[in-house]
Amino acid sequence: MKLIRTIKEIQSIVESYRQQGKIVGFVPTMGCFHEGHLSLMRIARKGADVVVVSIYVNPTQFDPGEDFESYPRQFERDEKLAEQERVDILFYPSDKEMYPKGYLTYVTVNKITKVLCGVSRPHHFEGVTTICTKLFHVVKPHFAVFGQKDAQQAIVIQRMVEDLNFDMEIVVGPIIREKDGLAMSSRNKYLSPEERKDALSLFQSLQLAERLITEGERTSKDILSAMKKLVASRKGTRIDYIEIVDATTLKALETIKGEVLIALAVFVGNTRLIDNIVVNC
Ligand code: AMP
């Protein structure tokens, strides 16, 4: 596995692979790998001749007061794990490399970035779309793999790639969970043992919604109130949002119909966790 730290170097190496007719698959990450990240690398490995993984804790996608400084970083461990997954190129740029002095350009996707996570994280998606644009230009992959864990992110990136005519595909991998159902996340590290138990209420509430829908319930209001009640029954939780929306437009749905995204963000102690499911009715 090659470790590359500069844009110039990765551009020239990927260019030479492309000229040889090789398919380049890309997995952008913020590091601190868990099985969720590794599952995306495996998806990339299956479809690509050359797998590029980036590790970059992107400052512009953290809102003021969020955990940019304390975000877990463990490069050496990540490097070993990437090697085990037969990643070909690990791209690990510095802040100076990605946002040199005088940097002024941002990419904005409207509407679908203003709902769900966009309400409490008003700058987050602009940071994500900007860094992904830069990384896509630098890495020039044929496809990039994102996780369904960050459902809104995947939808926003898909929109951007289509709107701005990026010549690449976006592939979305399923959510990888712990045995008890908690969605894997680098931020799970922040949880105390007590909070770890409270965090189970996120997936439990999604399972409850799924069960209610299977039993025939179609009124979002009633499903949401049952979900909120379940999450709130854990003392250490504070709901940021729980919503039922159309899986493409992210518009709130009064009635469950079509492809529906049930998404939530909940603070467990000071840690903000997200999770979701998609149901088809
Ligand atoms: P992050 O390092 O948190 O920015 O995540 C990098 C990629 O891994 C994103 O596309 C995430 O959606 C994806 N990811 C994070 N957690 C999971 C998970 N539990 N299952 C599947 N993909 C995940």
| Ligand 1 pocket test target in 29, 170, 188 with most atoms within 8 Å of CB | 29
Section 253-267 average pLDDT: 98
Give the number of the atom of ligand 1 that is nearest the alpha carbon of residue 40.
Answer: 22
Full DSSP string of 100-149: -TT--------STTSSTHHHH-TTHHHHHHHHHHHHHHHH--SEEEEEGG
Determine the Cα angle at 49 with ends 139 and 166, to 5°.
35
Rounded Cα distance between 211 and 201, Å, is: 15
Section 191-210 average pLDDT: 98
Structure-block tokens of residue 259:
């492809």
Query: Which pLDDT does position 44 carry in this prediction?
Result: 99
Query: Which pLDDT does position 251 carry in this prediction?
Result: 97
Residue 67 pLDDT level (bands cut at 50, 70, 90)? very high
Query: Which pLDDT does position 254 carry in this prediction?
Result: 98
Query: Which pLDDT does position 53 carry in this prediction?
Result: 99
Ligand 1, atom 13: closest residue by C-alpha: 147
Is residue 89 within 8 Å of 127, Cβ to Cβ? Answer: no
Section 121-147 average pLDDT: 98
Cβ of 140 closer than 6 Å to ligand 1, yes or no, is no
Residue 74 pLDDT level (bands cut at 50, 70, 90)? very high
Give the number of the atom of ligand 1 that is nearest the alpha carbon of residue 28.
Answer: 6
Query: Could you tell me the distance, in angstroms and rounded to a whole number, from the CA of residue 146 to the centre of ligand 1?
Result: 7
Query: Could you tell me the distance, in angstroms and rounded to a whole number, from the CA of residue 31 to the centre of ligand 1?
Result: 9
Query: Could you tell me the distance, in angstroms and rounded to a whole number, from the CA of residue 37 to the centre of ligand 1?
Result: 5
Round the average pLDDT of the chain to a whole number and report it: 98
Rounded Cα distance between 266 and 274, Å, is: 6
Ligand 1, atom 17: closest residue by C-alpha: 36
Section 114-141 average pLDDT: 98
Query: Could you tell me the distance, in angstroms and rounded to a whole number, from the CA of residue 147 to the centre of ligand 1?
Result: 5
Query: Which pLDDT does position 90 carry in this prediction?
Result: 98
Residue 39 pLDDT level (bands cut at 50, 70, 90)? very high
* pTM as predicted: 0.98
Section 139-164 average pLDDT: 98
Query: Which pLDDT does position 227 carry in this prediction?
Result: 98
Residue 175 pLDDT level (bands cut at 50, 70, 90)? very high
Cβ of 37 closer than 6 Å to ligand 1, yes or no, is yes
| Percent residues over pLDDT 70 in the chain | 100
Give the number of the atom of ligand 1 that is nearest the alpha carbon of residue 146.
Answer: 10
